[in-house]
């Protein structure tokens, strides 16, 4: 019987699959760090109070990239190029979700509409990240090699999600409610589709590295499609609702911790 613990244990125990897993994760986090850094630099004057929080978000993502690269270093492994079909952030951009990189490379300040788009996109993707890290925390939070990294990243992802909820609710009260609702639903529809495609691609690459038999790969594909079907019908509601978090100002608590995993 397939289980999440069994699958991830297989991936972690094999150097080549571990190398691919950490390379994909490090690339995505580093990309997120760059995006948030550029957004922080381009925040419009009317929302200047958000800039340090966005910068903190970006610094956290950069830190996560270093953590995953540190895990590779701990096994004397080098990162591998990320296959294009597993590049979650690139595929989301191609789907028109979030702010285009061409926009972020320009020096023109963003608009309030752009910030709503950014925060709505982040609220959806941070939901996914928080859930994935919660699963890894449950399964491997005490793992001698990766447990410390998982615990730190999971805390950060929960903070990122709380920050998105709080800031979007504040913007809704300022008159952006209709735009936020529409953008959240657009982002969620696109994200669950991209997540399905990336999950299928990652499992295909892992299957080749680990020599999974055809029935096992077929069962995994069926499971990914089943999750997509559920999310398409009912599951995406968790990505589109907003609730004031119990922890307020989650990204306003000072500088990023310099801790890294090596």
Looking at residue 96, its pLDDT comes to: 86
In contact, 180 and 172? CB cutoff 8 Å: yes
Looking at residue 2, its pLDDT comes to: 78
Neighbours of 56 (CB within 10 A): 23
In contact, 175 and 196? CB cutoff 8 Å: no
Q: Which long-range contacts (CB under 8 A, 24 or more apart) does 105-113 make?
A: 105/38, 107/42, 108/42, 109/42, 109/43, 109/44, 109/45, 110/39, 110/42, 110/43, 110/44, 111/44, 112/44, 112/46, 112/47, 112/171, 112/176, 113/179
Q: pLDDT for 16-70, tens place per residue? A: 999 999 999 999 999 999 999 999 999 999 999 999 999 999 999 999 999 999 9
Looking at residue 1, its pLDDT comes to: 62
Looking at residue 260, its pLDDT comes to: 33
Stretches in the chain below the pLDDT threshold 70: 1, 253-262
Coil vs helix vs strand at 198: helix
Looking at residue 257, its pLDDT comes to: 40
Domains, the chain, with CATH or none: 4-240 (1.20.1260.10)
Looking at residue 79, its pLDDT comes to: 96
How many angstroms separate the most distant Cα atoms in the chain?
Answer: 57
DSSP state of 1: -
């Amino acid at each position: 019987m397939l289980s999440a613990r069994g699958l991830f244990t297989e991936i972690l125990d094999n150097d080549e699959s571990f190398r691919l897993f950490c390379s994909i994760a490090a690339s995505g986090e580093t990309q997120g760090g760059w995006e948030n850094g550029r957004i922080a630099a381009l925040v419009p004057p009317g929302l200047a109070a958000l800039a340090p929080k966005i910068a903190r978000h970006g610094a956290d993502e950069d830190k996560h990239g270093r953590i995953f690269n540190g895990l590779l270093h701990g096994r004397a492994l080098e990162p591998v190029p990320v296959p294009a079909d597993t590049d979650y952030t690139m595929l989301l951009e191609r789907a028109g979700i979030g702010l285009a990189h061409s926009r972020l490379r320009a020096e023109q300040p963003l608009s309030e509409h752009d910030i709503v788009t950014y925060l709505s996109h982040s609220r959806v993707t941070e939901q996914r990240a928080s859930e994935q890290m919660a699963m890894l925390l449950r399964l491997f939070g005490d793992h001698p090699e990766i447990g410390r990294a998982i615990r730190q990243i999971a805390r950060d992802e929960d903070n990122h999600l709380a920050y998105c909820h709080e800031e979007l609710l504040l913007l809704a009260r300022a008159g952006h409610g209709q735009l936020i609702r529409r953008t959240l639903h657009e982002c969620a529809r696109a994200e669950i589709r991209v997540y399905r495609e990336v999950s299928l691609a990652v499992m295909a690459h892992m299957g080749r590295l680990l020599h999974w038999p055809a029935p096992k790969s077929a069962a995994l594909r069926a499971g990914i499609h089943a999750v997509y079907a559920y999310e398409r019908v009912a599951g995406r509601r968790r990505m589109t609702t907003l609730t004031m978090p119990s922890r307020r100002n989650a990204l306003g608590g000072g500088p990023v911790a310099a801790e890294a995993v090596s």
